[in-house]
Structure 1
Amino acid sequence: MQAANPNISAAALPAGRSSIQHLPVNLFASVMGLSGLALAWRLAAKTFGADIAIANGIGMLAITAFLLLAAGYLVKAASYPDAVCKEFTHPVAGNFFGTITISLLLLSTLLDRYSPVLQQAVWTMGVASTIVLSFIVVNRLLRGSAATGSAVPAWLIPGVATLDIAVTGATMPMPWAYEVNMLAVAIGSVLAVVFFVLIFSRLVHSEALPAGMTPSLMILIAPFEVGFLAYVNLMHQADMFASMLFYFGLFMFVVVSLRVFRPSVRFAASWWAIGFPLAALSNAALKYADATGSGVHAVLAAALLAFLTGAIATLLVRTLHALFTGKLLTA
């Protein structure tokens, strides 16, 4: 059985000229990647003494990208509501709406330098929308009759999204923030384990993912590295359990990289699926290097940051080229 197409705009909408109708929701993963890169460079400023202006510049780019995409998707929702409905109810593409809620959570951490009040408001919006989306996704799956081929890495997005609540909200000053963070960790950690097992089983026992979905394999490292960041932020230490999460995520990165980074996999918006998982790994490596004080871990963190920066830059250039040549919004 073939897995469902993650880019519903290409699968269910009529082909034709470039149109906002074909703006895929998974393009919000670009905001996640840029935000994660900005946060990684913030940590690099602390660990390596990098210029904080680099992080601030990338952060501004992430905010701008979100505003442009949000405006575009609102136009799509107003002009083509049926297309948005098809995306949301699609068994695979629907999971990518989690990229919007995660973007809100990540952007909230970038807004602290502008306005703490705005930061808290955006984080609260991200928390509410993330928990609601996780509820909808789980409720949808428990109806039964889900196709085997729909158990793909994108399932992890709404599950891991709740872990991002703790990653971004551990220092929120609201009196209710701690309990919300714990609720988020409880939901995210269990969903991540359950979904990871189901997806891994599907990848082992069924046919390989279609070429267009291959980049999404990188999402498999996200539960462990995001889990590491959430755990360390809440516990304020990198203990043995944190080390296990970090190292298994690193192991999975090496494994899936051999399958993802192949010339035969053509560029598409779905390639942004690698951005945030790589950013989570880079941020985790920087935090782990800072916690251990090890030169080896510092070199590893620097290498991963360089790789992440090059990957995001490449994706950004390719995406802008596709946009200006009219290919990005063509089904």
Structure 2
Amino acid sequence: MSQPTSDARRLPNFPIAFFAMVMGLSGLTIAMDKAQHVFAIDLAFDLNLWMAGATASVFSLLLLIYLAKLAVYPRAVLEELRHPVKLNFFAAVSVSLLLLSIAFLPIAESISRPLWMTGASLHLLFTLYVISVWIHHEHFEVHHMNPAWFIPAVGNALVPVAGVPLGFVDVSWFFFSIGILLWGVLMTIIFYRLLFHAPIPERFMPTLFILVAPPAVGFIAYIKLVGQLDPAAMVLYFSALFLTLLLFAQARYFVRLRFFLSWWAYTFPLAAISIASMLMFEQGHGDPYRWIGAGLLAILTLVVFFLLLRTLYAVFRHRICVPGH
């Protein structure tokens, strides 16, 4: 008799953070496509199409479930919108659309364009809403701050990656400027929080990897906007590379963590720095960058497959979508 009750309680507890999974899968898809170009690999089958299609299917499934939650339990969605941490994961929906537009760009522009337009428009709305909440909040405290707050900022910097090839250059500069502005502000706050306040709770520790994403994505977007490598691009790339090394140096702390859905925060930043490294190679900076990108891609692939298995196990064991999780 208790099992149906447990199942009935899962939908209102379906977390918006699930969309971080789509970010990771999209990042892997885009990184695989970049690796095929960098290493001149011509596969007998269209791996990119299959991976993009699978990722789009996961996104569609998660979106349908969350829309069902919105229809049946609107109060639960409203609670997430008011939560100081969960609030920021709503931007993962629009970021997922932007990443899917990048993944589909070399496959079909007719698919990529509406995904980009929807994602960019939605992300601007999320950014305006989130910042308005930050400004007018009445209950946020310093310990609520964690790198998940970067998700709205990262999405803005991501817009030019598909926006420039699609012909939206001025719009891309607009979003890129927002992303760089927010990155500088939030980076200062997060280091203040890390250095002078209580440690980040265990379940949010994996979100530290999100620190890598803004400079890595910013580098990729900047190259799209200016078309060449310059000192500003070098600063962005090496900032991302330093943060990656810094986080790898903390590996002993990460391996001790229990599994949480926040583990998906490892994936997209790894994809971003992998793609950025391979892009450095394409910009004429030598073979080491190609192999740095390939090594990071290998780690990313293992992490994604491991997280897929752990997430499915947690879902079937009712350790996700439960009250208080």
Above 0.5 in TM-score?
yes
Instruction: Name the stretch that deviates more: 253-262 or 206-215.
Output: 253-262
Paired with 1:79 and 1:179, the residues of 2 have a C-alpha distance of 40
Check if 1:289 corresponds to 2:276.
no
Q: Report the counterpart of residue 88 of structure 2 in structure 1.
A: 95
Change (3 A) 1:330 1:281: same
Q: Residue 41 of structure 1 contacts residue 55 of structure 1 at CA under 8 Å; is this kept in 2?
A: yes
Q: What letter corresponds to residue 150 of structure 2 in structure 1?
A: L
- Aligned pair partner of 2:290 in 290, 298, 302: 298
Q: Report the counterpart of residue 141 of structure 1 in structure 2.
A: 134
For the residue of structure 2 that corresponds to 1:328, the secondary structure is coil
Deviation at 1:327, TM superposition (A): 2.4
Q: Report the counterpart of residue 230 of structure 2 in structure 1.
A: 239
Cα-Cα RMSD: 1.9
Paired with 1:309 and 1:107, the residues of 2 have a C-alpha distance of 18
For the residue of structure 1 that corresponds to 2:229, the secondary structure is coil
Q: Residue 228 of structure 1 contacts residue 242 of structure 1 at CA under 8 Å; is this kept in 2?
A: yes
- Percent pairwise identity: 33
Q: Report the counterpart of residue 5 of structure 1 in structure 2.
A: none
Change (3 A) 1:264 1:134: same
Deviations 1:307-327 (A, max 9, x none): 111111111111122223332
Q: What letter corresponds to residue 206 of structure 2 in structure 1?
A: P
Change (3 A) 1:263 1:27: same
Check if 1:194 corresponds to 2:188.
no
Deviation at 1:80, TM superposition (A): 0.9
Q: Residue 49 of structure 2 contacts residue 107 of structure 2 at CA under 8 Å; is this kept in 1?
A: no
Q: Which has the higher contact order (CA 8 A, sep 6+)?
A: 1
Deviation at 1:216, TM superposition (A): 0.3
Paired with 1:27 and 1:257, the residues of 2 have a C-alpha distance of 24
Runs of 4+ residues deviating >6 angstroms: 14-17
Instruction: Name the stretch that deviates more: 146-155 or 96-105.
Output: 146-155
Check if 1:73 corresponds to 2:66.
yes
Paired with 1:51 and 1:326, the residues of 2 have a C-alpha distance of 42
Q: Report the counterpart of residue 85 of structure 1 in structure 2.
A: 78
Q: What letter corresponds to residue 123 of structure 1 in structure 2?
A: W
Query: Counterparts of 1:219-238 in structure 2 under 5 Å?
Result: 219-238=210-229
Instruction: Name the stretch that deviates more: 195-204 or 50-59.
Output: 50-59
Query: Counterparts of 1:117-156 in structure 2 under 5 Å?
Result: 117-143=110-136, 146-156=140-150
Paired with 2:142 and 2:264, the residues of 1 have a C-alpha distance of 24
Q: What letter corresponds to residue 151 of structure 2 in structure 1?
A: I
For the residue of structure 1 that corresponds to 2:320, the secondary structure is coil
Paired with 1:114 and 1:284, the residues of 2 have a C-alpha distance of 21
Check if 1:24 corresponds to 2:1.
no
Deviation at 1:100, TM superposition (A): 0.4
Q: Report the counterpart of residue 310 of structure 2 in structure 1.
A: 318
Change (3 A) 1:127 1:19: same
Deviation at 1:182, TM superposition (A): 1.0
For the residue of structure 1 that corresponds to 2:105, the secondary structure is coil
Stretches of structure 2 that go unaligned for 5 or more consecutive residues are: none
TM-score by length of 1: 0.90
Deviation at 1:254, TM superposition (A): 1.6
Q: Residue 31 of structure 2 contacts residue 297 of structure 2 at CA under 8 Å; is this kept in 1?
A: yes
Q: Residue 214 of structure 1 contacts residue 259 of structure 1 at CA under 8 Å; is this kept in 2?
A: no
Q: Residue 88 of structure 2 contacts residue 151 of structure 2 at CA under 8 Å; is this kept in 1?
A: yes
For the residue of structure 2 that corresponds to 1:292, the secondary structure is coil
Deviation at 1:237, TM superposition (A): 1.3
Instruction: Name the stretch that deviates more: 310-319 or 206-215.
Output: 310-319
Instruction: Name the stretch that deviates more: 285-294 or 321-330.
Output: 321-330
- Aligned pair partner of 1:213 in 204, 207, 218: 204
Q: Report the counterpart of residue 246 of structure 2 in structure 1.
A: 255
Paired with 2:116 and 2:290, the residues of 1 have a C-alpha distance of 30
Stretches of structure 1 that go unaligned for 5 or more consecutive residues are: 1-13
Deviation at 1:64, TM superposition (A): 1.0
